[in-house]
Amino acid sequence: PLILRLHMLTEIEHVLHLFFSQADKSQDAKRMVIETVKSSWEKRFEHTQAGLMGREPLLALRRVLFQMLDLKAEVADSWLYFAKAARHAGHESTAHSAIMQAERYGALKAHVERAKLKWSNPMERYDAVRVLREYIDIHSQSPTSDMGITAKAIVLHWKWTQELGMQEISQIIENFQEHCTRLPANHRESEKINFLLGHFFDISLFPDRTGASKFEGNGNNGCRVTNRKDSQLLPSILNHYATSLQYGHKYIFQSLPRLLTLWFENAENPSVSPEI
């Protein structure tokens, strides 16, 4: 508790300095300054006591400080952070209330967090997919939407659709690619999207392999192509797995073992297309 109070005093000091030094500046100027200290805030936040009760006082303080500076987007983000913490702690009603507060401040991420809350309840998982579907339909073609949030919604939607078995994998691939083409290049060319495209193509080609439904990449069941028609998908699988590694390492333990397995099993396979 004493360390938490020191964190709180430090953040109060930062904001009061900003309040008096930037009092006559625009909201954008204030936001730029606050962004410079938020990174250090987040690092200290990660070292506070894990759990909702341990971190709630600090999150509540941040909301008050951001309201004092009239930074509505930051207030909304703080509510969403609280909603996420409540969801992880299993407090559904608290998380729901926090999401509603975030929506009052116009948080676009609130739709994704609401879908995640529904997904955490096995009885509401189909409803979670519906929430994301509605969000994607509205925002994927809107020039004013945050494409980063939309990209996350697209990834979650098609991942959950596949896990629930709501569509054939070929239809999932077609729809996923269609929505990805609407995203700007900086969001379309990302680790997660390329990993999922590789994964979807992979289980389309090898539907019986171990771990396919759980996004695992180290199963060896189903890794050798037996005819030239099937081999046409293999270069796409390898390319997407390799591209995902180029953009990050979150899925390295899924994509790299699978990439190497497919390569070593099929590189000298006479049935495989020369493109590999």
**Quick one: pLDDT at residue 213?**
45
Q: Round to whole Å and give the CA distance between 102 and 113.
A: 10
d(Cα 242, Cα 259) in Å, to the nearest integer? 7
- Fill in the amino acid letter for 96: H
Tell me what the mean pLDDT of segment 25-44 comes to.
77
| Exposure string over 186-199, b if 16+ CB within 10 A, otherwise e | ebbebbbbbbbbbb
Q: What is the mean pLDDT of the chain?
A: 80
- The answer, yes or no, to whether residue 246 has pLDDT greater than 80, is yes
* pLDDT digits 0-9 by tens, 141-185: 665 567 677 778 887 888 898 788 887 767 777 777 776 776 666
Helix 72-88 × helix 27-46 angle, to 10°: 20
Flag the least confident range among 27-31, 113-117, 123-127, 221-225.
221-225
